[in-house]
Amino acid sequence: MDYTHLGRSGLLVSRLCLGTMNFGGLTPEDHAHAIMDAAHDAGINFFDTANRYGGELGPGATEELIGRWFNKGGGRREKTVLATKLYGAMGEWPNESKLSALNIRRALDASLTRLQTDYVDLYQFHHVDRETPWEEIWQAVEVAVQQGKVLYAGSSNFAGWHMAQAQGAAAERHFAGLVSEQSIYNLVVRELELEVLPAARHYGIGVIPWSPLHGGLLGGVLRKQREGLRRLEGRAAETLERMRPQIEAFEDFSAELGHEPGEIALAWLLRQPAVTCPIVGPRTHEHLGASLRALDVTLDASALTRLDEIFPGYRTAPEHYAW
């Protein structure tokens, strides 16, 4: 396993981040615990979760599951760079959502209790809060840092100008601000290249892409359909039909390279500027193994050019749409 710094920070994280959104809902607890152990065995030290995760078990269930895994001991917590998030409502009472100083304090303490730990390495804003001033947000985070409950702060689903706004406010307080941004980014969804990636590179913010296979669309979906292993419905099926020529070309090119489509999609992300590590969300051991194989894939310049031809990206704004 290779490791890299999370943005401009001194924190070293694995080139793959283990996403836990499926744990407790789609993946039973015993299987989830085994997957986390296997991730450690493979050298993955970066785990991502959120206070809202839990699926049908309800918000908080995934953090509780991870907490019980930490409680098994064996250095599990010490070996893990732990990231969680807040923003979504955890209850119906006022101040149980978003980024007020009150909710930051309460949500953080609740997450620490569920996770059975006294600190999180990376505390992330799951969405931009347009109603709370950054002065209030950063003051609350500074208190959490001073208390030893948080080491680093990150964002998720921010626009480039939101990142600039956050960093400007942090600089006025002589505070580090954001070290990471978690966004959807893959061969199909490449809008980040317009402004988010340039902003991340400018401010030294590491990008952590979620949905690297775009809900399985880049994971060999056509072959799996032919083999009766995958059935898409609703929006996913509509997207596949709209992009079928591109997906066919991508799967054919992956076969030419001698790799599975999902391996190529992850390997492409690992080559993109400002990307620290994609988030992989395995439901099974097999899914984890498939993600790990992507680390051994080498894409040369001609392969990268061909992928850009299949899935055209964006130039940095404003040159993409102006002179």
Strands (E), 174-293: 178-184, 206-210, 279-280
pLDDT of residue 299: 97
Q: For residue 53, indicate whether it is catalytic.
A: yes
Q: Is 86 helix (H, G, I), strand (E, B) or coil?
A: strand
Query: pLDDT tens, 213-238?
Result: 998 899 998 888 787 766 666 677 78
Q: Is 223 helix (H, G, I), strand (E, B) or coil?
A: helix
Residue 308 within any structural domain of the chain: no
pLDDT of residue 226: 82
Bridge-partner residues for 47, per DSSP? 18, 82
pLDDT of residue 180: 98
**Cα end-to-end span (Å), the chain:** 42
Q: Which of 53, 87, 152, 185 is catalytic?
A: 53
Residue 26 within any structural domain of the chain: yes
- Please check whether residue 224 is in contact with residue 230, taking contact to mean a CB–CB distance below 8 angstroms: yes
Distances (CA, A) of 85 to 50, 53, 236, 264, 310: 4, 10, 26, 29, 34
Domain extent at residue 128: 3-217+269-300
* CA 2 to chain CA mean position, Å: 18
Residue 310 within any structural domain of the chain: no
Strand order in the sheet with 279-280: 206-210, 178-184, 150-156, 120-125, 81-86, 46-48, 17-19, 279-280
pLDDT of residue 229: 64
What CATH code is carried by the domain that includes residue 75? 3.20.20.100
Q: Which amino acid is at 211?
A: S
Residue 64 within any structural domain of the chain: yes
Query: pLDDT tens, 182-214?
Result: 999 999 999 999 999 999 999 999 999 999 999
Residue 321 within any structural domain of the chain: no
Q: Which amino acid is at 154?
A: G
Distance from C-alpha of 32 to C-alpha of 26, rounded to nearest angstrom: 10
Distance from C-alpha of 260 to C-alpha of 221, rounded to nearest angstrom: 11
pLDDT of residue 161: 98
pLDDT of residue 90: 97
Structural domain total, the chain: 1
Residue 120 within any structural domain of the chain: yes
Residue 262 within any structural domain of the chain: no
Residues of the chain with confidence (pLDDT) below 70: 229-234
